[in-house]
Structure 1
Amino acid sequence: MPEGDTVWNTARVLDRLVGQTLTAGEFRVPRLAGADVADWTVTESSSRGKHLLLRLSDRDGAPWTLHSHLRMDGAWRVYKPGERWAGRPAHLIRVVLRAERAVAVGYHLHELDLVPAAREHTLVEHLGPDLLGPDWDADEAVRRIEARPDRQIADALLDQRNLAGIGNLYKSETLFLRGVNPWRTVAEIGDLRRMVVLAQKLLASNRGRWNQATTGSLRRGEQQWVFERAGSPCRRCGTTIRRAKQGDHDRITYWCPRCQPGAESPEGRERPTLAKD
């Protein structure tokens, strides 16, 4: 699933539309099939956690928001007029926005909504502080996480209501770098603030590039510590990296049993060993 930095980067791609007046718009989802955005002006491209917000002004100057969520497989591509659309198969196209100097094509988008700007907040007000946004507040993120002390820390980091932007990659990498077993509970974590601050730094370090790295190396195969490295040796201690499903939605977690001591899996009987913070 695209994480906060990828969505932020996508918003920057859509910046190519900002300031332009749309010559045509085509929506290939039933509830928006009749929407007409021709002669509307694109005023801003923004992200909020994993949500994309393209702000528009209609023919009368009234503000609107085109909201989309990429989920696992959504994407936006921007082409020059007349350029071949090569991003994804045509049957996955959900929206096309045409302007004089650019054409934006949205593939396999989810939660696609076109709403008056006054209603934009209803689409994102459930989100916690955005790790890449002006509202980022580490203390508020900690307060929200601590509201459920018995929750496993990996699930708490993924909950967008606590802090917006973390997905499986940054969850696994943050926990590894802090030496925290993914199945420890929130109450067992000694310094939550250091953890969320680290997560924010990791996301921020990847703004402006598509090659996500947490190790400091951009070389292929060297970018992550544990994410998608199950069966490979830990870069620190050589122990085999493990993977297991975790949480209500069976999201995959990666960890090093030696660097992050504790339960081996959701069914593990061993209580997580407390790391020194």
Structure 2
Amino acid sequence: MIEQIKEGHVKVEREHGIATIEFYHPQRNSLPGAILEALAKDIHSEGLNKDTKVIILKSAGDGIFCSGASFDELASIKNEEEGTRFFTGFANVINAMRKAPQLIIARIQGKSVGGGVGLAAAADYAIAVEGAEVKLSELAVGIGPFVVGPAIERKIGVSAFSQLAIDANLWRPADWARRKGLFAELHTDVAGMDDSIQRLANNLSLSNPEAMQELKKTLWKGTEHWDTLLKERAGISGRLILSEYSKKAIEKFKVKLA
């Protein structure tokens, strides 16, 4: 199943109990609202699918994994309601990943920024390739990693999260992300990464679904309030994105990316 979105897509492929959810956007695999909505919906649907034993989350191409929020969409936000709605899209994806009973493997084939780091953190097991650097650029555009923050902090701890959040212009190398626990594995090339992902997915597809579900409940214990928390955090970002500072910063970033 493929859901075509203006200038992008989200598609789901299923084989032998493994559901692979792929997203794509021509602007460095950024995440406009339509892709966020489709991702949340498809992850939720696979969570309900009794035939799906494990989920792989990936982006298309061999370049950047995800560049985070769409700058075009950020620049078009006109009021706090629109801003909150946009950032709630990230909350919905993270909560869908959290609540899906299946274990989720993330394939990280390149750099991750902002919301992309949040996706990697919300996965239960992230496998990456060398060169998959990470950065939380939110503070540089006048907001902060408020929605994705709980997922990242849960995975790598307050200290490492604060380093990412405060120095918003610094890329951290993939090995830093592995040492901090964001990435479970790091491979020298894409072939090695994909072999490891397939091996793990195959093994999990043959494991006891009930045991995996109970394991996931244990791993995510203490996050039951995130439905409320992440939406509250979306409201903070939705308000801050309207500031004059944010508007000027976004325009500067758009010029750099053009």
**TM-score after normalising by structure 2:** 0.29
**TM-score after normalising by structure 1:** 0.28
**Which entry has the higher C-alpha Rg, 1 or 2?**
1
Determine which structure has greater relative contact order: mean sequence separation of CA pairs < 8 Å that are 6+ residues apart, divided by chain length: 2
| Bigger fraction of residues in helix | 2
